């Protein structure tokens, strides 16, 4: 029986992509006033995020360095001058990014129906930043915000990340359902570690892998739980 639910954060509870896209557009406008925004700016920024966050997760660089690499990378890709102070440049991006933090419209109503479950967040972002996001979107009291930087360096989809998160929640992995938008990190990864998982496919454009369930909005979560007797 499911006793706890872990949520991914970015793309699941908070619209990270919209905030990041708007943030990098605003940063470019500040950095190079009058320059038309290149159409590929948001895509390049998302790709750099994936590459350099993965390098941080793998221990190939520290958190500040992955941020510097992203600023340097976006400038080189778009033909912009590379700032002398990369840390200040990323801080400027972050100010714009934070302005866009918001929960998806379905989040608060769905969570209101989950009384009785132990709740928390399992994310691959920096725990201090992710905790700040949770407060900003009105979910600061949801439960622990867990990431590799507080789980002995174990990030999703490493099996140890799910086991460590279950331990922090005080439950066996099999008593936890992980809900998230990433097929590897939030669906097949936790399942391989003995957790239950549910794919949140907000775009509604794909078929779930065989043997895994899919919802397209968190509004479906309470019904999904009540409709599966082995989960609740």
Segments of the chain assigned E as strands: 4-7, 118-122, 145-146, 176-180, 196-200, 213-215
Core vs surface per residue 7-16: b (16+ CB within 10 A) or e: bbbbbbbbbb
Task: Report pLDDT for 161.
Answer: 98
Q: Quick check: 110 and 223 in contact, CB under 8 A?
A: no
Give the pTM.
Answer: 0.94
pLDDT in tens, 88-143: 999 999 999 999 999 999 999 999 999 999 999 999 999 999 999 999 999 999 99
Task: Report pLDDT for 206.
Answer: 75
Task: Supply 29's token pair.
Answer: 């406008």
CA-closest candidate to residue 198, choices 216, 214, 185, 184: 214
pLDDT in tens, 143-196: 999 999 999 999 999 999 999 999 999 999 999 999 999 999 999 999 999 999
Task: Report pLDDT for 231.
Answer: 59
| pLDDT of 31 above 50 | yes
- List beta partners, residue 121: 7, 145
Q: Quick check: 217 and 202 in contact, CB under 8 A?
A: yes
């Amino acid at each position: 029986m499911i006793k706890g639910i872990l949520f991914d954060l970015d793309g699941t509870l908070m619209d990270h992509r919209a905030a990041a896209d708007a943030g990098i557009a605003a940063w470019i406008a500040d950095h190079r006033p009058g320059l038309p925004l290149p159409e590929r700016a948001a895509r390049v920024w998302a790709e750099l995020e994936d590459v350099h966050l993965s390098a941080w997760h793998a221990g190939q660089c520290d958190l500040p360095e992955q941020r510097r690499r992203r600023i340097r990378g976006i400038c080189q890709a778009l033909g912009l001058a590379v700032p002398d102070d990369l840390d200040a440049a990323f801080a400027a991006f972050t100010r714009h990014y934070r302005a866009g933090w918001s929960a998806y419209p379905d989040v608060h109503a769905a969570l209101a129906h989950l009384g009785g479950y132990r709740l928390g967040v399992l994310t691959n972002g920096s725990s201090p930043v992710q905790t700040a996001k949770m407060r900003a979107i009105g979910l600061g009291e949801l439960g622990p915000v867990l990431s590799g930087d507080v789980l002995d360096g174990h990030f999703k989809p490493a099996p140890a990340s799910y086991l460590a998160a279950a331990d922090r929640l005080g439950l066996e992995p099999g008593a936890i359902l992980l809900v998230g938008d990433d097929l590897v990190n939030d669906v097949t990864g936790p399942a391989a570690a003995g957790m239950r998982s549910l794919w949140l496919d907000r775009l509604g454009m794909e078929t779930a892998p065989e043997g895994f369930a899919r919802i397209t909005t968190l509004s479906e979560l309470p019904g999904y739980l009540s409709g599966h007797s082995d989960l609740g």
